[in-house]
Structure 1
């Protein structure tokens, strides 16, 4: 199974960047990259969001190595019902599930702002 670092390294190579230029563009110290490589630490949530946006990949893929399906918006609140939980579940979400959803929403808002800024 690939690690987050290995997926980041793959993206850096695919983009034709050096690790040094990647770090400079995203404000990452080479020491932090070294710690990620050795498994001593992993990128924080905000840095993962930045990296995913930089390479135009999903957080699911970057964190877990999983591809996500595209969801078409229908104008309805398809993730949450009136009780603010997944419509397909009858039980309350776990705190880590709620945090992941909040982080993903923050990521999509970041991408929208970035795309809007680039198109302005």
Structure 2
């Protein structure tokens, strides 16, 4: 099973970037990258959101390795609003850190959508 670092490294290679240029573009210290590689630490939630947006991959894949790192396309996404409405009541059952993760994921989705709009303008 791949680690978060290994998935980030894979994306860096796929984009033809050097680790140094990747770090510079996302304002990541090479020391932090080294810690991620050695397993001493992992990127924080905000940095994972930035990395996901930078490479246009889902946090689900980046964090858990689920599915494939396909490029996200906002226009191809379909949402089941009825299911979302019934899920709202279950939010109260979540732990505070799970609620915070959902808020951050929503912020990521909004950031990604705005970035796509800006790129297409």
Q: Please indicate the TM-score interval, normalised by the length of the shorter structure.
A: 0.7 to 0.9
Name the structure 1 match of 2:96. Answer: 95
Q: How well do the aligned residues superpose, as a CA RMSD in angstroms?
A: 2.3
Q: Which has the higher contact order (CA 8 A, sep 6+)?
A: 2
Paired with 2:115 and 2:77, the residues of 1 have a C-alpha distance of 21
Q: Residue 79 of structure 1 aligns to a residue in which SS?
A: helix
Q: Matches of residues 66-77 of structure 1 in structure 2 within 5 Å?
A: 66-67=66-67, 72-74=78-80, 76=81
Which of 86, 93, 104 matches 1:81? 86
Name the structure 2 match of 1:39. Answer: 39
Name the structure 1 match of 2:115. Answer: 114
- The answer to whether the 8 Å contact 1:79/1:85 transfers is no
Q: Residues 49-97 of structure 1, C-alpha deviation per residue, up to 9 Å, x if partnerless?
A: 01001111100000000128x86125x35334385426xxxx8223333
- Corresponding residue pairs, total: 114
Q: Residue 117 of structure 2 aligns to a residue in which SS?
A: helix
In structure 2, list runs of 5 or more residues that go unmatched. 69-75
Mark the CA change 1:99 to 1:79 in structure 2 (over 3 Å): closer, same or farther. farther
- Give how far 1:39 is off: 0.8
- The answer to whether the 8 Å contact 1:4/1:62 transfers is yes
